[in-house]
Structure 1
Amino acid sequence: MSSVPERGEIDEQYKWDIDDIFTDSDEWEAAYTEAESLIEELESYESDTTNDPETLLDVLKLAEEMMRTVANVSAYARMRSDEDTREQRYQALSTRAQSLASSAGSAAGFIEPDLQSLTREELDDMIEAEPDLEQYEHYFDDVLRMKPHTRSAEVETLLADLSEVTGAAGEVYTMLTNADMEFPAVDDPNGEPVRITLSNFTTLQKNSDRAFRQTVYEAFYDEWETIRNAVGTAYKNSVTADVKSARAHHYETARAAALDSANIPPAVYDSLIETVNENLDILHRHAELKRNALGVDELQMWDVYTPLTEGESPEVPYEQATEYVTEAVAPLGEEYQSRLAAGLDSRWVDVYENVGKRSGAYSSGTYDTQPFILMNYQDDISSLFTLAHELGHSLHTQLTSEAQPYIYGNYETFVAEVASTVNETLLTHHLLETVEDERFRRHVLDEYLERFRSTLVRQTMFAEFEHHTHEIVEDGGALTPDRLDELYGDLKRTYYEPAVVDERITREWMRIPHFYRAFYVYQYATGISAAVALVNQLLNHDTDTDKYLQFLQSGSRAYPLDLLRETGVDMARPAPVKSAFSTYEEYIEEFEQLI
């Protein structure tokens, strides 16, 4: 049987170096204790924040020290738990860290209501009296902007205390699907049993044997049916928590609340969905191309991931992948390229799947640590692109942390997905220009077409789904598994019109973990649109590398739409999304000519 190794069987060079945060549990415990002391100290300032400029500065600095310590404690615990979700010891650390973060949020809950008791003129006077407050200018503007949606210090503290509970649905979902759920083994085309996992499902769906793909597809979604009520209940509670939290902060909708944190108008979300729906004929053209390439009468759901190319993906060992990505980012300058190479040599990446490891991929780390990347690398082109994607996040994190003070040392997801997708787009250009093997080139082109399908279109479909699910709850309706199946199935039929939408695919909503972070996924679609526009500008010399690097170094010093406008991309208009569809169509035409 094809088996996933235990973590201890994987060489250390392919594991991230979390000892960079804490060398052992004693250090972690010491940091945990320090954070508790900082929380207690900050609580002593309640109601005194705005007494005078010096006190305000002291409170802000103390809150930053507390949050930095809590971030390190939380990151370590979460990543250790993600290494093997079955490990009770690290589950316990993660639970304690979540509780600590909730306490820290509660302790800091009085700061913004206190600031909102001041006028802009009073804050300006404080800055004039204490120049070190000047770095908080944009932060102060943002706090005052949110005044209509900020409750009293007492209420904000209570809501922060409840965050552990209101976020429980996502935690339950993660443990259920990663630690408890086990998919069956099926025989591969050679008669060898292979275990289906969350990480390898998509890879198995790319197998050239159609009967095998169907077997995997049916076994996978039949297993989801066995936990249908549990997942349905988790998602219903997650949506309900979003709605109640939004109402507690005087928002009309959960979507408005989620988007307002980054000052993104709901019109941007609506424009994305509208523009994508207007261009679904390009997705349908892609689906028809796939049906013709496969030589089938009907495109089934187990055909959707199948490559347009012959056979499975060419093998791309991890070491080769690191070379490709490093070479691909050369247009971003020598400094960016050398930083990326150094990160790969510094064990940023936890490379391979192991038993119990969290599925998927992400980039993590804190203001005070090196970046960390979780992968489940599968030695294929898809994993190569995922590596490029996550490295984009990691370099963004590193450049921001070095260039900005802590208050702006993070960045909104809206711009994060631009940085990651720029790397994917550059990788595509590099591989198509430098790799001579025609089979490899066709696979690269097919992979990038799939990125358009899954990132630009599929994520927008997800965004439309969550918008509707939250509207149902906001209107007093019930989110039952049957209703969710119906809603998801209707969207699937609209988006994938040329394909057969069967009963099993209507359960696909159950396997999307991002739904537990509501109104997040649309940013993948806006991200790829902005990234394609930026790469076109860079390669055509319509913008320079320094301007893009300044964007990566900006953190949250300004709002996302404004930061992107400084690069020449305006995501408040439909033009970048339309342009992305034009590029998508150009690649489809190129592939049509190849076959």
Structure 2
Amino acid sequence: MADVLKKRSEVKPEDTWRLEDIYETEELWESDFAKVKEMIEELSKYEGKLHEENMLLEMLEKNYAAERVAENLFCYARMRRDEDNANARYQGLVARCGSLMTEFSTKLSYVAPELLAAPEGYLEGLMNKEAFSDYTTFVDGLIRRRPHTLSAEEEKIVAMAGDIAGAPSTVYNMLNDADMRFGEITGEDGEKIKVTHANYIPLVMSRDRDVRKAAFDALYTTYKGYSATIPAIYSANVKKDIFYARTGKYESALVSKLEPDCVPQSVYDNLILAVNEHVASLQKFVGINARLNGIDKMHFYDLYLAPKLGFDINLPFSEAYDMVVDCLKVLGEDYKDVLIRAKNERWIDPYENEGKSSGAYSWGTYDSHPYVLVNYKEDLDHLLTVAHEMGHSLHTWYSNTQPYPKSGYSLFVAEVASTVNEVLVLMELMDRHADDKSAMAYLLYNLLDSFRGTVFRQTMFAEFEKIAHEMGEKGEPLTAQSLNSVYADLNKKYYANLEFDELIAYEWMRIPHFYRSFYVYKYATGFSAAMAIAGMIRKEGAPAVERYKKFLHAGGSLYPIDALKLAGIDMSSPEPVRKALDEFDQLLKKYEEVTKDM
């Protein structure tokens, strides 16, 4: 019988995060809400005056001051709601914050067009002025955006298309999350189970192959039934990307999406090229797992089945956290001290309760310490989740040493620090269990499977997006037949040793990330960078840690590729990805060796 979840009110205070560190009382929250509305209103008075340096500086100072307060309001409201999503009080606070943010962006809509229309040399001149030193990232972004800016009237027309542009994503999410039903299958105990997005992965991890196949068939047969609708939605999304790229005078949709992070297309292309060169290693990993699971002919519905290797780490949260801290001691006393503070000062909300948001995340504001939400269970996966989220938290902690306008780091590097923690913990655990074949096999499987899911799978997705957009740019129709053909061919290339299941051609239809175009490649590059950093830390010790912390401290003061160079990683070169894939090969050899007699 499943454990009955506690109500939020039944959870001991010491087992919750302390959000009072942001607002001790809700009266203080309401006071700040009223205050920030006044601050936002005042920003309107600077319209038409931003070509005067003193007025621009004053506006920027007040804008970022208002943003900091708004950030506190939203973060507090959202985290309170996440404690119990049925709490109407906090649903209301979140809704009010959403309206506030819309009002904020509307009031500031004049800023970018006005500055982009400034006399030649005005913005460039600000870059070297001490008074604007906190705002150089903002100003440089405008300078780089200027060649892609239209006339004021044309920009207004493009802006008016904004609501329409969001339609493909909105329609897809409504269809995918609310309208689609995947039917029922028979579970391991003979009971009827409704297949859902939430339980699909657990079902294809079942040790009962009939259950795995039934779940796979139920899910993708349903998507097949939308072979007219979903391709039409995705085609509209691709056309939207092409529209914005062409109106913005970019050479392609891909380039337009890479430009905000100052990432050259070679980074994207080199990732795909390097991963394609190592698909044989992926296939070897899949083959070893097939043998360990006693499967002669491996199908796509078998990919998530973990071998039974006779080992796990089952620790209560407090002990698991202490193990994470100990495994990360190589990162130095200052890093360790913050991790200890996080536990002692209740930065973490560790346990599941009725109504609590699922999954895990790290959040916080410039004026608060980071917070972490998890739903901890006693196994290695959740121990690594804790390490992962604390990596995000420490990245934010160090980044907040930057001035507020330069503290926020790019999504391109967002997964680096979290993955460094995961890898360091796994590597340290391997050192500790080097003489235990079952433990080594289990730990190696976890790291290799992370590689599979993060580097190989996300790169395959990135390759699909690139091909689909290139087809759209050539005027080729994006239909179920054409898109399924592309996706099927990619799966045949990446998983050449699997029995081909025709339904896998429909898998692209269930990936919501495709409506946030050219985003998923960042998972693969981030993982590759993290592997390289973790390797240097283990090999060099203190010098590599010092470089890594310079990266953590950089926040948003540098573009992501330049920030990673502080850690000794040059993502403009194909080397980090190639080295990560070479490391995959070395780990795979160890995995093959320790499992050969199992």
TM bucket normalised to smaller: 0.7 to 0.9
Mark the CA change 1:439 to 1:343 in structure 2 (over 3 Å): closer, same or farther: same
**1:583 shift after superposition:** 0.8
AA aligned opposite 1:282: S
User: Does the residue aligned with 2:395 lie in a helix, a strand or coil?
Assistant: helix
Counterpart for residue 504 of structure 1: 503
Counterpart for residue 292 of structure 1: 291
**1:127 shift after superposition:** 7.0
Which structure 2 residues correspond to residues 456-535 of structure 1 after superposition, within 5 A? 456-481=455-480, 483-535=482-534
**1:73 shift after superposition:** 3.9
Moved more, 17-26 or 584-593: 17-26
The TM-score, its normalising length taken from structure 1, stands at 0.87
Q: Deviations over 1:514-573 (max 9, x none)?
A: 333221111111111111111121111174322211110101111111122222211111
Q: Is the 8 A contact 1:329 1:423 kept in 2?
A: yes
Q: Is the 8 A contact 1:262 1:560 kept in 2?
A: yes
Distance (Å, rounded) in 1 between the aligned partners of 2:406 and 2:279: 38
Q: Deviations over 1:155-213 (max 9, x none)?
A: 66776676566445545655665667676676654556767554454344333333333
**1:432 shift after superposition:** 0.6
Distance (Å, rounded) in 2 between the aligned partners of 1:33 and 1:95: 15
Unaligned runs of 5+ in 2: none
Distance (Å, rounded) in 2 between the aligned partners of 1:474 and 1:284: 33
Counterpart for residue 301 of structure 2: 302
Q: Deviations over 1:34-57 (max 9, x none)?
A: 444333322221121121x32121
Distance (Å, rounded) in 2 between the aligned partners of 1:297 and 1:365: 49
Counterpart for residue 425 of structure 2: 427
**1:417 shift after superposition:** 1.9
Q: Is the 8 A contact 1:307 1:443 kept in 2?
A: no
Give yes or no for the alignment of 1:144 onto 2:161: no
Give yes or no for the alignment of 1:42 onto 2:43: yes
Aligned length: 592
**1:506 shift after superposition:** 2.8
AA aligned opposite 2:273: E
**1:419 shift after superposition:** 1.2
**1:288 shift after superposition:** 1.5
User: Does the residue aligned with 2:296 lie in a helix, a strand or coil?
Assistant: coil
Mark the CA change 1:440 to 1:460 in structure 2 (over 3 Å): closer, same or farther: same
**1:431 shift after superposition:** 1.0
Counterpart for residue 593 of structure 2: 593
**1:287 shift after superposition:** 1.5
Counterpart for residue 257 of structure 1: 256
User: Does the residue aligned with 2:413 lie in a helix, a strand or coil?
Assistant: helix
Moved more, 146-155 or 546-555: 146-155
Distance (Å, rounded) in 1 between the aligned partners of 2:276 and 2:98: 39
Q: Is the 8 A contact 1:85 1:175 kept in 2?
A: no
Mark the CA change 1:72 to 1:320 in structure 2 (over 3 Å): closer, same or farther: same
Counterpart for residue 410 of structure 1: 408
Q: Is the 8 A contact 1:275 1:574 kept in 2?
A: yes
Counterpart for residue 64 of structure 2: 64
Mark the CA change 1:81 to 1:221 in structure 2 (over 3 Å): closer, same or farther: farther
Q: Deviations over 1:272-306 (max 9, x none)?
A: 11111111111111112122222222111121112
Moved more, 66-75 or 383-392: 66-75
Give yes or no for the alignment of 1:323 onto 2:322: yes
AA aligned opposite 1:307: A
Mark the CA change 1:26 to 1:503 in structure 2 (over 3 Å): closer, same or farther: farther
Distance (Å, rounded) in 1 between the aligned partners of 2:17 and 2:161: 33
User: Does the residue aligned with 1:363 lie in a helix, a strand or coil?
Assistant: strand
Distance (Å, rounded) in 1 between the aligned partners of 2:565 and 2:323: 30
The TM-score, its normalising length taken from structure 2, stands at 0.86
AA aligned opposite 1:434: R
User: Does the residue aligned with 2:362 lie in a helix, a strand or coil?
Assistant: strand
Distance (Å, rounded) in 2 between the aligned partners of 1:394 and 1:178: 30
Mark the CA change 1:532 to 1:191 in structure 2 (over 3 Å): closer, same or farther: same
Q: Is the 8 A contact 1:110 1:153 kept in 2?
A: no
Distance (Å, rounded) in 2 between the aligned partners of 1:350 and 1:138: 34
User: Does the residue aligned with 1:413 lie in a helix, a strand or coil?
Assistant: coil
Unaligned runs of 5+ in 1: none
Distance (Å, rounded) in 2 between the aligned partners of 1:195 and 1:27: 45
Q: Deviations over 1:319-361 (max 9, x none)?
A: 4432332222111111112212322444444545667766544
Distance (Å, rounded) in 2 between the aligned partners of 1:495 and 1:385: 27
Moved more, 418-427 or 339-348: 339-348
Moved more, 313-322 or 41-50: 313-322
Q: Is the 8 A contact 1:207 1:311 kept in 2?
A: no
Identity %: 37
Counterpart for residue 104 of structure 2: 104
Q: Is the 8 A contact 2:293 2:308 kept in 1?
A: no
Give yes or no for the alignment of 1:566 onto 2:566: yes
Which structure 2 residues correspond to residues 335-354 of structure 1 after superposition, within 5 A? 335-351=334-350
**1:149 shift after superposition:** 1.8
Which structure 2 residues correspond to residues 169-318 of structure 1 after superposition, within 5 A? 169-170=168-169, 188-190=187-189, 198-222=197-221, 235-310=234-309, 315-318=314-317
Counterpart for residue 447 of structure 2: 448
Moved more, 71-80 or 387-396: 71-80
AA aligned opposite 1:561: I
Mark the CA change 1:16 to 1:118 in structure 2 (over 3 Å): closer, same or farther: same
Q: Is the 8 A contact 2:387 2:425 kept in 1?
A: yes
AA aligned opposite 2:409: Y
Moved more, 386-395 or 217-226: 217-226
Mark the CA change 1:523 to 1:339 in structure 2 (over 3 Å): closer, same or farther: same
Counterpart for residue 576 of structure 2: 576
User: Does the residue aligned with 2:420 lie in a helix, a strand or coil?
Assistant: helix
Mark the CA change 1:155 to 1:272 in structure 2 (over 3 Å): closer, same or farther: same
Distance (Å, rounded) in 2 between the aligned partners of 1:173 and 1:312: 41
Q: Is the 8 A contact 2:537 2:544 kept in 1?
A: yes
Q: Is the 8 A contact 1:85 1:179 kept in 2?
A: no
Distance (Å, rounded) in 1 between the aligned partners of 2:222 and 2:187: 18
AA aligned opposite 1:108: L
Counterpart for residue 370 of structure 1: 369
Q: Is the 8 A contact 1:15 1:351 kept in 2?
A: yes
Distance (Å, rounded) in 2 between the aligned partners of 1:233 and 1:352: 42
Distance (Å, rounded) in 2 between the aligned partners of 1:380 and 1:347: 22
Distance (Å, rounded) in 2 between the aligned partners of 1:92 and 1:369: 23
Q: Deviations over 1:78-117 (max 9, x none)?
A: 5556566677776665555444434433433333344444
Moved more, 131-140 or 298-307: 131-140
User: Does the residue aligned with 2:109 lie in a helix, a strand or coil?
Assistant: helix
Q: Is the 8 A contact 1:456 1:525 kept in 2?
A: yes
Give yes or no for the alignment of 1:552 onto 2:552: yes
**1:315 shift after superposition:** 4.0
**1:422 shift after superposition:** 0.8
Distance (Å, rounded) in 2 between the aligned partners of 1:240 and 1:107: 30
Q: What do you get for the CA RMSD once the two structures are aligned?
A: 3.6
Mark the CA change 1:344 to 1:504 in structure 2 (over 3 Å): closer, same or farther: farther
